[in-house]
């Protein structure tokens, strides 16, 4: 009887692992058209390795349509994909970061992670893996993290966002060739609420005024 019970438990565990692996594979697969699009663009317009600053992360970077115009003296590649979480950046890092051997990687991530239910500690853990992956392929690259913004539609997550920003800031402070860019506090009103004029009607994504603010804050950090 005990042997049968152990067999059932083992089979259940195997089935559960298979289900989880399938779900994760499906999650990654949904980004394949975007990632393949980046690779197709690289073949049409080859990139010189070691010359670029790579921006990556979620929709806040995807939506930065004026990114290249905002920093005309920099060579910038936008390799963000909207809706992504940090673990997905880790998964695709070998395709969206490593090939360029960038001199700097600017990351905006963690926003969707928190909204999906991850804890600040889990976001930090995923970010550490991403950081290691970047440094393993190019130890001289500067890693810059743009803090998670305070979106009105996600105000219930603000305590978790503040904690996540603090954890990542503290982690980067102990590493060489890193920078943490605080855009969280400048996006608040004097009484500590998100500034509504910086956001679209969905209270999540930014209007140009938001990106203008980011541009001024981020500029001194770019190589």
The pTM (predicted TM-score) of the whole model is 0.88
Looking at residue 7, its pLDDT comes to: 54
Query: CATH number of the domain at 31-221, out of 3.40.190.10, 3.10.450.50, 3.40.50.1110, 3.40.50.2300?
Result: 3.40.50.1110
Tens of pLDDT along the chain (223 residues) come to 555 544 554 445 444 444 434 456 667 999 999 999 999 999 999 999 999 999 999 999 999 999 999 999 999 999 999 999 999 999 999 999 999 999 999 999 999 999 999 999 999 999 999 999 999 989 999 999 999 999 999 999 999 999 999 999 999 999 999 999 999 999 999 999 999 999 999 999 999 999 999 999 999 999 8
Cβ proximity of 104 and 138 under 8 Å:
no
């Amino acid at each position: 009887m005990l042997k049968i019970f152990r067999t059932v438990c083992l089979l259940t565990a195997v089935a559960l692992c298979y289900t989880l692996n399938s779900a994760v594979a499906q999650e990654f697969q949904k980004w394949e058209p975007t990632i393949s699009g980046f690779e197709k663009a690289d073949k049409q317009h080859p990139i010189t390795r070691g010359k670029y600053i790579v921006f990556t992360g979620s929709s806040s970077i995807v939506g930065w349509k004026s990114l290249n115009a905002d920093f005309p003296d920099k060579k910038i590649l936008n390799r963000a994909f909207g809706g992504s979480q940090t673990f997905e950046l880790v998964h695709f890092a070998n395709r969206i970061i490593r090939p360029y051997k960038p001199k700097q990687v600017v990351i905006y991530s963690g926003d969707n992670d928190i909204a999906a239910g991850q804890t600040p500690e889990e976001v930090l853990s995923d970010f550490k893996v991403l950081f290691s992956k970047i440094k393993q392929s190019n130890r001289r690259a500067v890693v810059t993290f743009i803090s998670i913004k305070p979106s009105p539609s996600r105000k219930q997550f603000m305590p978790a966002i503040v904690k996540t920003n603090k954890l990542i800031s503290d982690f980067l402070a102990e590493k060489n060739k890193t920078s943490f860019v605080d855009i969280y506090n400048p996006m608040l009103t004097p009484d500590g609420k998100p500034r509504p004029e910086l956001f679209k009607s969905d209270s999540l994504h930014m209007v140009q005024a938001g990106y203008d603010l980011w541009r001024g804050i981020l500029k001194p950090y770019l190589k």
